Amino acid sequence: KRCVSLISTDRPFSAQTNRINEFAPTPERPFVLGLPTGSSPIVTYRALIKLVKAGKLSFKNVVTFNMDEYVGIPREHPESYHTFMFREFFSHIDIPPSQVNILDGTALDLVEECNAYEERIKKYGGIELFLGGIGEDGHIAFNEPGSSLASRTRIKTLAYDTILANARFFNNDISAVPRMALTVGVATVLDAREIVIIVTGLRKALALSKAIAGVEEGVNHLVCVSVVIVYPESNPLPYRKWTVSALQNHPWTLLVADEDATSEL
Ligand code: GLP
């Protein structure tokens, strides 16, 4: 409730907010929240931290599941998503660390790590609200174009354009960006009872338009569309698939966009 109302304080989401208002988390029945990394959620995290510090919000009865993590860099690495989440959010709120779940990209058995993550989500009764961002290529979490709509938490090779986009976090050194990640699947995201996606900036405008305005294409994840984007040094793809359009199949998804991101609509 608080996450949602924070994002849109003066315009509550009618039915959705009313439904969530009824939900009072307890230690036995915690609120299960899916969380992203990246620059998109930072403003939200800062606002939530302020509320916690002002005593208006508590995460004591919240369990979180992060969307993804790089493979092969230790948790202590400054650019691991584990480090990011504690630096930007968890260290500043009152969530017990035992209630924080983040995939371990250095686990000895990565497949087992992914399967156990899905099981843990199930054990909590599924995710109530998934807060997310999207990549410029329309990925959600690290579900790159072409990811199966039925996909679950798994290992994923990153698309070249994602590696390029994320190089900014690795001193613009493309070679330092991990090539693989663990990520929740598209089906894991779609299983959440609500999804809120934050989309900001011109660079996301095409992905946003493909997510919601490809009327003749529908869920263009399934139907290849004729958009040609040529990235330097990558293979030009004659057809693109936009994972984010899979959200059209979800009954309670809200996309929160700034004006720049809407420029292709
Ligand atoms: C990464 C993450 C995604 C995130 C995306 C957008 O690729 N794996 O979960 O949504 O970046 O990041 P930003 O918000 O910095 O644009």
Mind giving me the DSSP string for the chain? Answer: -HHHHHHTTTS--HHHHHHHHT----SSSPEEEEE--SSTTHHHHHHHHHHHHTTS---TTEEEEESEEESSS-TTSTTSHHHHHHHHTGGGS---GGGEE---TT-SSHHHHHHHHHHHHHHTTS-SEEEEEB-TT--BTTB-TT--TT--SEEEEPPHHHHHHHGGGGTT-GGGS-SEEEE--HHHHHTSSEEEEEE-SGGGHHHHHHHH--TTTSSTTTS-B---B--TTSPPBSSB--GGGGGGG-TTEEEEE-TGGGTT-
Query: From atom 12 of ligand 1, which residue's Cα is the shortest distance away?
Result: 38
Annotated catalytic residue, options 136, 144, 161, 194: 144
186: pLDDT strictly greater than 60: yes
Query: Distance from the CA of 136 to the center of ligand 1, in angstroms?
Result: 8
In the block, tokens 């509550």 appear at: 12
Cβ atoms of 36 and 133 closer than 8 Å: yes
Residues with CB under 6 A from ligand 1: 36-40, 67-68, 132-135, 141-142, 162, 166
109 annotated active-site = no
Whether the per-residue pLDDT at 258 is higher than 70: the answer is yes
**Residue 240 falls within a domain, yes or no?**
no
What Rg do the C-alpha atoms of the chain give, in angstroms? 18
128 assigned to active site: no
- 8 falls within a domain: yes
Mean pLDDT of the chain: 85
**Which atom of ligand 1 lies nearest, measured to the CA of 38?**
15
Q: Is 137 a catalytic residue?
A: yes
Look-up of token digits 């990011």: 84
Please state whether beta strands 154-157 and 180-183 pair in parallel, antiparallel, or not at all (unpaired). Answer: antiparallel
From atom 3 of ligand 1, which residue's Cα is the shortest distance away?
A: 141
Task: Give residue 6's pLDDT.
Answer: 37
Centroid of ligand 1 to alpha carbon of 27 (angstroms): 31
**Residue 51 within any structural domain of the chain:** yes
Q: How confident is the model at residue 216 (pLDDT cuts 50, 70, 90)?
A: low
**pLDDT at site 26:** 87
Alpha carbon of 103 to ligand 1 centroid (Å): 16
Chain center to CA of 139? 9
Q: What's the pLDDT at 179?
A: 97
Question: What interface predicted TM-score (ipTM) does this complex get?
Answer: 0.95
Tokens 């040529």, located at residue: 230
* CATH of residue 41: 3.40.50.1360
Cα(140) to ligand 1 centroid in Å equals 8
pLDDT digits (tens, 9 = 90+) for 132-176: 999 988 999 999 988 998 999 999 999 888 899 899 999 999 999
Please list, in sequence order, all residues whose beta carbon lies within 8 angstroms of the beta carbon of residue 194, skipping any fewer than 6 positions away: 4, 16, 20, 128, 129, 130, 252, 253, 254
> Is 220 a member of any domain?
no
Tell me phi and psi for residue 39, to 5 degrees. Answer: -80, -25
Q: How much is the pTM?
A: 0.86
Query: What's the domain count of the chain?
Result: 1
Answer yes or no: 260 catalytic.
no
Residue 222 in this model has a pLDDT that exceeds 50: no
Which residues form the domain of 98?
Answer: 2-204+247-259
Q: Given ligand 1 and candidates 134, 143, 154, 169, which is best to mutate, with the most ligand atoms within 8 Å of its CB? A: 134
- 229 domain-assigned: no
Q: What angle do CA 255, 62, 67 make, to 5 degrees?
A: 50
